[in-house]
């Protein structure tokens, strides 16, 4: 840990200066980052306001992220899907972030391809376009043609990007360690878990073989669909840093004039797209998590094509049922059913006050129940649901926020193509289908088999577990650990009362001793007197007064809250 701190010291100082420049002195002055700023620089923190203070705190956080670079931008973009951790105003700012990264030299790209594939580029491609189709922080995409004549696109990872990301991830871990107390006070209870999850996501994104596997999985799921197509990945020509994919031509799904020129119905295209996406969520439980218009193409024959599978979300069967139950409970105006579905959906179901939770859901239902179907907005509903999740600190699967975000994006696409497009009209039949599936004979039998297997495993291991416990008891090795939570303040108060009680008892004893000392008869010359009283009396009263002063100070002192 110390080695990482030293290696990242310069970068951490830069981060500290950026935080200070945008008005976040408290993130530096109240954390271990304070030690990394020279004393001569600390005076300037208190100088007059700058123009940046005219912006909101949330806007300044976005400015900081933009200045810190691509890895931090990707973290913020990932966090924009976590309404259980961040307030909505900050999420709105994070959604504005864009990773505008210029392309790198095509000769470098070709060199990387040859290095990864282990052969000259002209032995793989008959044509290779020097101008990239697109560029991002991780890599860039070129169009090419295989020797067999097939048109492809080639994703090439940026040189040194893995080392850069690893360095930034180490820096993030160090920053979280240094500012953990501050972040907890801001409401982020588990910042280290967030960085760990982001590290796993980035590690997966840096491995192009993971994207190829996702594409193959989708191709298998939708191989019988005539209106939906997934490009083919060429696994034999792909590595962790190079990905070769079939090139598919088409227009963006929002290009309404082109759809009309091809004789396609934009309304039908919108309905087909929503149907395919809801099938991914509620039937297969695996979905494309970034369906923005640039990633959804339409062929001249009306076939929809999804590209860029770098972000894929997954739901287990139980999560799928619980997520559908939230919408079904809302449609039935049943806050209790909605609350129970949320509890099943949450990774931890610790809701302190279920009545208050149901009341919040009831208010949410009332807000939307009064609206006409045409006036209902998926964006407003997503914000409302995310607000409830954030307020009650529910830890729900990250896939839930990806789904809500994707539904909002799809609703925006649908309204461009379809004047009467309404997301809820499409979700409703899937809700009925989910209920039928959940309570089908096959699913009930499957659940019964799972429960029976778990019970059988418990019965099989129970005798051995009991034998082990009895053996420990006979040897006197059994230890019971009791951990009380929530009693820290009470124990601290009890400790203070005991300490003050001891001081008070000593003070009373000294005062009594002083009174008794006045009754004593002392031989002449053996006890000095002062103002007619024995010196021992004055000493006793003095010590008692000092102890009473301490008790008075302790009684008036306000205790500082502990982290």
Catalytic residues: 290
Residue length, the chain? 563
Whole-Å CA distances, 175 to 11, 14, 27: 10, 12, 11
Contact by Cβ (8 Å): 230, 215: yes
Token pair, residue 385, equals 């649901």
Q: Helix (H, G, I), strand (E, B), or coil: what is residue 69? A: coil
Q: Which of 8, 99, 20 is nearest to 64 (CA)?
A: 20
Give the span between the Cα atoms of 460 and 464, in whole angstroms. Answer: 8
Give the span between the Cα atoms of 24 and 45, in whole angstroms. Answer: 10
Give the span between the Cα atoms of 236 and 304, in whole angstroms. Answer: 26
Placement of tokens 């009925």 in the chain:
432
Give the span between the Cα atoms of 563 and 551, in whole angstroms. Answer: 26
Token pair, residue 44, equals 């300037």
Give the span between the Cα atoms of 219 and 560, in whole angstroms. Answer: 60
Token pair, residue 137, equals 């922080």
Task: Please enumerate in sequence order all residues whose Cβ is within 8 A of that of 99, keeping only pairs 6 or more positions apart, or say none.
Answer: 70, 73, 74, 77, 136, 137
**DSSP string for residues in 214-249:** HHHHHHHHTTT-SSEE-PPB-GGG--SSEEEEE---
Chain centroid to CA 333:
30
């Amino acid at each position: 840990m110390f080695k990482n701190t030293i290696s990242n010291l310069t970068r951490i100082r830069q981060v500290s200066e950026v935080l200070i420049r945008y008005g976040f002195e408290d993130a530096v002055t109240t954390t271990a980052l304070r030690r990394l700023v020279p004393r001569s620089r600390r005076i300037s923190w208190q100088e007059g306001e700058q123009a940046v203070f005219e912006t909101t705190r949330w806007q300044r956080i976005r400015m900081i992220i933009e200045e810190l670079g691509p890895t931090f931008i990707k973290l913020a973009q990932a966090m924009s899907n976590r309404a259980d951790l961040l307030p909505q105003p900050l999420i709105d700012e994070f959604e504005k972030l864009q990773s505008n990264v210029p392309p790198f030299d095509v000769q470098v790209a070709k060199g990387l391809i040859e290095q990864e594939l282990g052969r000259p580029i002209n032995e793989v491609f008959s044509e290779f376009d020097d101008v990239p189709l697109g560029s991002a922080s991780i890599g860039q995409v070129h169009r090419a043609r295989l020797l067999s004549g097939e048109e492809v696109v080639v994703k090439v990872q940026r040189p040194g990007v893995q080392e850069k990301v690893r360095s930034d991830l180490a820096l993030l871990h160090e920053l979280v360690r240094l500012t953990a107390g501050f972040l907890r006070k801001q409401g982020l209870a588990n910042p280290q878990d967030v960085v760990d999850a982001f590290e796993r996501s980035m590690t997966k994104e840096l491995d192009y073989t993971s994207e190829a596997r996702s594409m193959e999985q989708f191709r298998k799921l939708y191989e019988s669909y005539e209106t939906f197509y997934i490009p083919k990945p060429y696994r034999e020509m792909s590595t962790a840093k190079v990905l070769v994919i079939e090139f598919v031509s088409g227009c963006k799904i929002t290009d309404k004039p082109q759809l009309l020129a091809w004789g396609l119905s934009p309304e039908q295209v919108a309905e087909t797209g929503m149907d395919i996406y809801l099938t991914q969520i509620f039937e297969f439980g695996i979905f494309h998590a970034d369906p923005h218009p640039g990633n959804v193409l339409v062929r001249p024959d009306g076939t929809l094509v999804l590209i860029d599978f770098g972000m894929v979300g997954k739901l287990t069967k139980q999560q799928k049922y619980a997520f559908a139950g939230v919408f079904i409970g809302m449609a039935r105006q049943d806050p209790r059913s909605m609350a129970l579905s949320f509890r099943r959906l949450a990774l931890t179901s610790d809701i302190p006050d279920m009545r208050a939770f149901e009341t919040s859901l009831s208010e949410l239902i009332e807000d939307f129940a009064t609206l006409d179907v045409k006036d209902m907005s998926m964006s407003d509903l997503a914000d409302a649901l995310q607000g409830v999740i954030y307020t009650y600190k529910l830890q729900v699967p990250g896939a839930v926020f990806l789904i809500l975000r994707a539904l909002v994006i799809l609703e925006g696409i649908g309204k461009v193509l379809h004047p009467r497009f309404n997301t809820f009209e499409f979700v409703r039949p899937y809700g009925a289908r989910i209920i039928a599936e959940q309570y089908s004979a096959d699913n009930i039998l499957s659940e019964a088999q799972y429960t029976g297997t778990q019970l059988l495993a418990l019965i099989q291991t129970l005798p051995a577990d009991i034998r082990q416990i009895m053996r420990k008891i006979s040897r006197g090795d059994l230890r019971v650990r009791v951990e009380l939570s929530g009693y820290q303040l009470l124990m601290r108060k009890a400790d203070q009362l005991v300490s003050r009680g001891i001081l008070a008892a000593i003070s009373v004893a000294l005062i009594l001793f002083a009174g008794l000392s006045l009754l004593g008869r002392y031989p002449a010359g053996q006890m000095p007197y002062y103002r007619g009283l024995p010196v021992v009396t004055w000493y006793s009263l003095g010590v008692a007064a000092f102890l009473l002063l301490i008790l008075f100070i302790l009684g008036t002192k306000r205790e500082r809250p502990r982290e």
